[in-house]
Chains A and B, each alone.
Chain A
Amino acid sequence: MANTDKQVSELIKREYEHGFVTEIEADTFEPGLNEDIIRRLSEIKGEPEFMLEWRLKAYRRWLEMDEPEWAHVHYPKIDYQALSYYSAPKKKEDMPQSLDEVDPELLRTYEKLGIPLHERAKLAGVAVDAVFDSVSVATTFKDKLAEAGVIFCPISEAVQKHPELIKKYLGSVVPQGDNYYAALNSAVFSDGSFVYIPKGVRCPLELSTYFRINAANTGQFERTLIVADAGSYVSYLEGCTAPMRDENQLHAAVVELVVLDDAQIKYSTVQNWYPGDENGKGGIYNFVTKRGACIGKNSKISWTQVETGSAITWKYPSCVLRGENSVGEFYSVALTHNYQQADTGTKMIHLGKNTKSTIISKGISAGRSSNAYRGLVKFGPGAEGARNFTQCDSLLIGDKCAAHTFPYIESQNKSAILEHEATTSKVSDEQMFLCRQRGIDPEQAVSMIVNGFCKEVFKELPMEFAVEAGKLLEVSLEGSVG
């Protein structure tokens, strides 16, 4: 088993390097970033004037900013002028023509994860126009959504079709100058999703399902904006349990959620990008800004994330709880292995009365990895009767890994109540003994124990993903025992 994992990683990596040496296609910009590049990018996308202005403003802010160094991660300095900021979707001739050409180990991994057959081809990057009947499925979904009045489209399309919504909400939660990576993203974002749920509508399906079939090649600077109007509800799943083939090393995405009165967004993420090989070479840098604003009364945002991929994860899904009685939730499992580094957590900013938040974070470090929880809970002076409960637990597997906790707590209101607790433990010998005594092999035993450790978070995931997430941990932990 241990061997398999290694081979998979190696093979994935080989593919990955290959992606870099491909000859530059006609539709790829030369490396470098300046105002002209942004103008060209905006022109290619056929964006209206206001969007270009918005991008340029972000770019100018970005130039004045310093790259953040406070995170507990180490990596060589990124040369932003050496990156190319636009690349047209890959040509079909360069992709594997059928599943037969795809590395069999990768396919075996899919099998272990229980990925439906018709999705495997898509995930492996096979060049097919329609994978089995997904087009018809997608069309059915589209009709259903249209009927409910839900807008769900690429953000570049939304810029043209719904400029009033974009003008109103884009950057309202994560302003252009929010942080270094958010500014970069605002300047050069390639595409992403836009969701608008009208008043009182309960989105008829989990956008996760739709997304998985329609996962477009959104590129490295993804921008997502979800607006839930009064009384609406939507569940959105981003990412995929399957290891994604990806050509870009730096990912700087921005996700903004806007929730109005009595509305609710449930945002789930499963991230399993290429983590680098067992020596820590290669892998994706995932520097993401995710933030939701509970603007309305009784609104709610729930973030659930399972992070097992990427060489470096830098990500703090946050909630700004402005509306009275609004609720923020954050459930996270972050697993790091080999030389992976994760610095992740959440921010809960309580501004309104009786706002409540819950943070459950489970960090698992194995191999030589480093896993940090970094969080902020803030009660503003107006957060009368606000409440927070935080629990962050770390599990260490092996004696070369590291687990850290950096919780920031700021309270300016006496009636706000906060409880924070954190523990660190390892898979105990007693637990292992018990399992082994009953004939369970060590690898399975660890996976059982780890699954139990993460249960609180998995139960928040949409059902089918909870099952996959469990399997994903199992696959990711292979080779960490014995």
Chain B
Amino acid sequence: MNPQATLSGAFLQSAGSTLPDALKTMRQQRATALADMPVPTRKTENWKYSSRHLQLDDSLAGTLVGGSSNTAFHNGDAYRVVIRNGQLDLDASELPDVSGVEVLAFRNLEDADAAQLAERLDNTLDSKAVQFARLNSARFEDGLLIRLAKNAVLDKPLFVFCENGGDKAGSAYPRIYVEAGQHSQLTLVEEYTSVGEAQALVNTVTEFSLADGANITSVRLTIEGQQTQHIGATAARLQANARFESHCVGFGGPLRRHDLRVCLEGKGAECKLNGVAVTQGQQHLDNHTVIEHVAPHCESEESYRNIAADKSHAVFNGRIHIHPDAQKSNANMSNKNLLLSTGAEIDTKPELEIYADDVKCAHGATVGQLDEESLFYLVSRGIDRKEAGTLLSMAFINELIEQIPVEPVRDAAHARLVRFIEQSFEGA
């Protein structure tokens, strides 16, 4: 009965920017449409467990500026794009020079390209379901556009470093749009980090549009600091026989939220979604995924694992939606959770929504603790409890980490996870 609070108008004031006119107009339209955007509460189904961690003070409405920007990005043998507070830093980037592959900043687009992009942005997203993606569309100040021509193959992974933070509280709206032509291939690694000490809200949107037979691997790491709230969305739309693979590794924070939506629109499309999330202290992390089987003969495979320690809170919500004509769909979802302490909380909801009969769908979810016997075995062989616990916890998620196809990322993620989990067993 209570009228729901709507998003403060301060968030809808976009700063002046150097974007082409078409994109500015689009932003303005989105901002107007958002005027009544309700702020999620406990009653908002897809924010049920996370709304209380959400802080939307007006102080966060302004755009983040400053922050130390002398981070050196090392990524081994790969291409690189640096995005600071939503703005592409082309000087720090190392762009590919491969035929058929274009890597562009929104602000440098020609008018015709900008107009085309303005048409396509948000198309992969059901914007009503992902409220904060709408906010990004109203606020982005620059963005990364990757265009792959037919049969284009990017030989090395492209790393996107998104560094956000400032001297003063504020928000950033990094935006990435990938358009993959027929049978093109790309491996994209997104890494989100924080700089500076000021409170920050990072609201990201990454969209992938895959034409027939395109193949994209996306790796997403969120390793931001305690001063940063992160609300991100990734969406992919697949045409016939396209393949999308996603690996998300998330470390907890005051609020970490990621919405991943994959729409299998063409016959024979397939996707694989892996996710690992770890939380400790008072942290909170929330992963929402939706897989839409629109066309027949599509396959999806999803596996997410969470480890929650101390007083932290990990949330998973996965939905598989099989549309009426999507016969012969094959969908599998698994969600496993490990609770390391009794103060911690895991909430999970693996959903199936099925409107076709000739399909194979299954989901499984488990919640449990480390096996006492395994722990005892290791300890009895002289391994201390902390190490034993870390070993067993890593074993729980390693199956997914090992599947990350980019070696330096895999190693870095592994090392970081070990350090993180060790802390959870401190004093154990």
Contact = CB atoms under 8 A, between A and B. Distances in A.
Interface of A: 64, 66, 70, 379, 381, 394, 396-426
A426 B349 contact: no
Given A410-B345, A413-B339, A422 B359 contact: no
B366 interface: yes
Contacts of B45: 70
Interface in B306-347: 324, 327, 337, 339-347
Contacts of A379: 367
Nearest to A398: B357
Given A396-B356, A420-B350, A424-B360, 6 more contacts: A381-B342, A405-B353, A407-B350, A409-B347, A411-B345, A421-B364
B278 to A, nearest CB: 15
Nearest to A65: B1
B362 A422 contact: yes
A30 to B, nearest CB: 28
Contacts of A394: 352, 354
28 contacts: A64-B1, A394-B354, A396-B357, A399-B324, A399-B327, A401-B357, A402-B353, A403-B352, A405-B351, A408-B349, A409-B347, A410-B345, A411-B346, A412-B345, A413-B339, A413-B342, A414-B339, A414-B341, A416-B339, A416-B367, A419-B364, A419-B365, A419-B366, A421-B362, A422-B362, A422-B364, A423-B361, A426-B359
Contacts of B337: 411
A416 B366 CA distance: 10
Contacts of A401: 355, 357
A379 B341 CA distance: 13
B349 A402 contact: no
A412 B367 CA distance: 10
A420 B354 CA distance: 18
Interface in B1-32: 1
A375 to B, nearest CB: 10
A404 B359 CA distance: 13
Nearest to B331: A424
B411 interface: no
A11 to B, nearest CB: 30
A338 to B, nearest CB: 16
Nearest to A395: B357
A397 B1 CA distance: 41
A414 B351 contact: no
A414 B342 contact: yes
Q: Chain A interface secondary structure, helix, strand, loop or mixed?
A: strand
A400 B351 CA distance: 20
B285 to A, nearest CB: 15
A411 B340 CA distance: 12
Nearest to A425: B360
A41 B343 CA distance: 49
A417 B366 CA distance: 7
Contacts of B359: 396, 424, 426
B357 A399 contact: yes
Contact of A399 (B342, B358, B366): B358
B234 interface: no
B400 to A, nearest CB: 19
B348 interface: yes
Contact of B347 (A400, A410, A421, A423): A410
Which of B45, B343, B349 has the most CB atoms of chain A within a 10 A radius of its CB? B349
Given A409-B367, A414-B342, A414-B369, A396 B354 contact: yes
A407 B354 contact: no
A371 to B, nearest CB: 10
A415 B324 CA distance: 41
A370 to B, nearest CB: 9
B368 interface: yes
A325 B349 CA distance: 26
Given A381-B343, A424-B359, A404 B364 contact: no
A180 B359 CA distance: 37
A369 to B, nearest CB: 11
A402 B354 contact: yes
A66 B352 CA distance: 27
A338 B358 CA distance: 19
B386 interface: no
A417 B351 contact: no
A410 to B, nearest CB: 5
A74 B300 CA distance: 29
B363 interface: yes
Q: Which 8 A-B residue pairs are closest in the complex by CB-CB distance? A: A396-B357, A414-B339, A405-B352, A420-B365, A424-B361, A418-B367, A414-B369, A411-B367
A426 B364 contact: no
Nearest to A376: B349
Nearest to A392: B352
A426 B354 CA distance: 12
B352 A412 contact: no
Contacts of A413: 339, 342
Contacts of B357: 396-399, 401, 426
Contacts of B340: 414
A406 B367 contact: no
Contacts of A396: 354, 356-357, 359
Contact of A418 (B1, B344, B351, B365): B365
Contacts of A426: 357-359
